[in-house]
Structure 1
Amino acid sequence: MFADFLQRLIQPEPKRLSGADSHLALAALLVRVARADGHYDPSEATRIETVLRTRYDIDEAGARQLRGEAEVLESEAPDTVRFTKAIKDAVPYEDRISVIEGLWSIVLADGQRDHQEDTILRLVSNLLGVSDRDSALARQRMARQVS
């Protein structure tokens, strides 16, 4: 279903993604991180929709549809390293920081930080080219919102 999109995304020098394509790629990354521990439950899906509504100013139905498309894209996407590198090359830095905030909000939603989640977020942040400092600041912003 998303073969053409993925092919464009993983080109050696991909073009910048449009707003809608950028939103889809970043939503798929949210799904990938949520699925990373082997458990993708309804509360994570709901949280992803909340992040999408907030970040992209879309309604509930739009967020649900985007999440559904992102779930399909994520399942068809290459390994995390190539997928994340492709996003880095095709999405502006500010949008990548926004998705790191969204990822932190998902991780922090249960009120606990897990070593495995921290490791995944550090990897994804680095692969997206987001500095440790910017990731830490994003985590702090999301921790204030969650508490």
Structure 2
Amino acid sequence: MIKSFLALFERQVADQPNDQHTLELASAALLFEVVRADREFAAAEREQVSQIVTREFNLSGPELKALLSDAEEHAENAVDLVQFTRILNQHYDLPQRAAFIQHLWTVAYADNELDMHEEHVIRRIADLMHVPHSLYMQAKLKVKQ
């Protein structure tokens, strides 16, 4: 009985699409975490997410729309941030992770207001991505200027 259950579970895991944890999806989901942080869902912030994803991953049209929709849904349903930051940590070196933190600040400042919840989410993401505080602050100051 247990063996048949385990076999069924292994088949279900194998059948799940591999795109659930792609770099693009994880990055966009983290960007949406900043959009969601202040619970105001500003159009300027959403537009900034779209521009960053377009620029960083060379996506447009239906691909971009599908990715953003999936990422927003993943961000809403996420239990934690680790599932996303782990993927970025695997693919990015420290300068790339620091650049990503700058993207998060760009989204937070897109509506010309920084909410304390946005700042908190960015700090948590930076910690999970092992970005030193000095680089976290440099990224914030670059965007703020």
- TM-score norm. by structure 1 comes to 0.70
User: What is the SS of the residue equivalent to 2:86?
Assistant: helix
Paired-residue identity, %: 23
- The whole-number CA distance in structure 1 between the counterparts of 2:87 and 2:126 is 12
Change (3 A) 1:36 1:113: closer
What's 2:6 paired with?
none
Q: Distance in 2 between the 1:78 and 1:116 partners?
A: 17
| Alignment partner of 1:28 is 2:8 | no
* 1:39 equivalenced with 2:40 (yes/no): yes
Structure 2 distance, partners of 1:64, 1:72, is 12
Give the direction of change, closer, same or farther, for the CA distance of 1:50–1:6 in structure 2 (3 Å limit).
closer
Corresponding position of 2:78: 77
* Cα deviation, residue 96, structure 1: 2.5
> 1:9-46 CA distances to partner (integer Å, 9 max, x unpaired)?
6xxxxxxxxxxx11211111111221122232433222
User: Which residue matches 1:113?
Assistant: 114
Moved more, 23-32 or 49-58: 49-58
Where in structure 2 are the equivalents of 1:1-147 lying within 5 Å? 5=18, 21-59=22-60, 61-80=62-81, 82-93=82-93, 94-144=95-145
Output the CA distance in 1 between the equivalents of 2:80 and 2:112.
Answer: 29
**CA 43–135 in structure 1, closer or farther in 2 if over 3 Å, else same:** same
| Structure number with larger C-alpha Rg | 2
Whether contact under 8 Å (1:84, 1:124) holds in the other structure is no
Residue 136 of structure 1: CA displacement?
A: 1.5
Q: Deviations over 1:36-63 (max 9, x none)?
A: 2223243322221011122223335543
Q: CA deviation at 1:101?
A: 1.4
Q: Runs of 4 or more off by more than 6 Å in structure 1?
A: none
How many equivalent residue pairs? Answer: 129
**Secondary structure at the counterpart of residue 38 of structure 2:** coil
RMSD: 2.6
